[in-house]
Structure 1
Amino acid sequence: MAEPVPFHAAEWLNADASLSLADFTGRVLVVEVFQMLCPGCVSHGLPQAQRIAAAFDLAEVAVIGLHSVFEHHSAMTPVALRAFLHEYRIRFPVAVDAPSEDPMPRTMEAWGLQGTPTLVLIDRQGRMRARHFGQVSDLALGAQIMALVLEAPE
């Protein structure tokens, strides 16, 4: 997991412009990979991402969402996602994962993810350092994030 990770966004919501991983260099990046019709995403993953965004200094830790649709494609459109983000008061930037020829979207496939919810931690240099499929406790996750924040810059 030492190389910078590829990222493929078809569009961005809650952002003034398209973003790339380079925009987060120098900060720890927390990526909440979700689908809006995923019960675990709605009950655990997204609320946890919102707590992280509220708890950490934006200069040190950035939080983004990655809407990776691999099922029910016709129901989970960008229009529906905009309404979902508004209703759930999700304010951090959210990328719509680019589709591929396979059922799995491009970033989800490139990152080797199993499903949603998944929380990914990327260090200050853009390298994936952790992947958590399903639930992870706030305490354990907070410790992992702080360990990455406290690492000496390369």
Structure 2
Amino acid sequence: MDRLMPAGIAAPELDIAQWFGEETSLAQLRGKVVLIEAFQMLCPGCLNYGLPQAVRVRKQFPEVVVIGIHTVFEHHDVTGPEALQVFLREFGIPFPVAVDRHDGRGNIPITMDTYRLEGTPSTILIDKSGDLRLTHLGAMPDLQLGAMLGELLAEKA
């Protein structure tokens, strides 16, 4: 399900417990198009669609910053940071991955709640001005995503 946003709605900062790879903030990425892939390592849709697509975007659109966010709302006991580190190495994930922070009040992590994500895999697009332009739940056709990225890259910051 797509939630398209007009320019002018600032993307909230990510609330991260830990980084694997280069730590960054959305504020540091102003002037660049950003794709965030929200995933869980035990999510079949993430393994089959979301993460492979994010890897393809990183290869085919080197000017787009790709970040993964491990946003666990189930299977907490077996998806901790140690398991995630092994997963990232085994699957050769070539971009930084952040661990979404939990506040202890429920199963939904903070960034997932802030962005009103309904599950995983979810794709988030942020434009050069730092505005949230899309959240998408589930598999997204490559052609559709590529067209959206092309539009965002063509926009002035």
Structure 1 counterpart of 2:28, which letter? D
Write the letter of the residue equivalent to 1:74: D
Q: Is the counterpart of residue 115 in structure 1 residue 119 in structure 2?
A: yes
Letter in 1 for 2:132: M
Cross-structure match for 2:82:
79
> Could you give the per-residue CA deviations for residues 108-145 of structure 1, whole angstroms, max 9, x where no partner exists?
00000000000000111211100110011000000001
**Dislocated runs of 4+, deviation >3 Å:** none
Structure 1 Cα separation of the partners of residues 72 and 44 of structure 2: 14
Structure 2 segments unaligned to the other structure (5+ residues): none
TM-aligned CA deviation for residue 30 of structure 1: 0.2
CA contact (8 A) 1:3 1:127 kept: yes
SS of 1:146's equivalent in the other structure is helix
Matched, 1:68 2:71: yes
The amino acid across from 1:5 in the alignment is P
Displacement of 1:75 in angstroms is 0.5
1:151 aligns with 2:144: no
TM-score for the superposition, normalised by structure 1: 0.94
Q: TM-score, normalised by structure 2?
A: 0.92
Partner amino acid, structure 1, of 2:17 = A
Give the drift of 1:9: 0.6
CA distance in 1, matches of 2:132, 2:76: 27
| Equivalent pairs, count | 149
> Following TM superposition, by how much is the alpha carbon of 1:4 offset from its aligned partner in structure 2, in angstroms?
3.0
Structure 2: distance between partners of 1:148 and 1:30: 11
Aligned partner of 1:98 in structure 2 is 101
Question: 1:102, CA displacement in angstroms?
Answer: 2.0
Structure-2 residue corresponding to 1:44: 49
Aligned to 1:4: 11
Residue aligning to 1:13: 20
Q: For 2:32, which of 23, 27, 31 is the aligned residue? A: 27
Contact 1:4 1:125 in 2 (8 A): no
C-alpha distance in 2 between matches for 1:6 and 1:20: 7
What is the RMSD of the two structures over their aligned residues, measured on CA atoms?
0.9
Other-structure match for 1:140: 144
Cα separation, 1, equivalents of 2:141 and 2:113 = 25
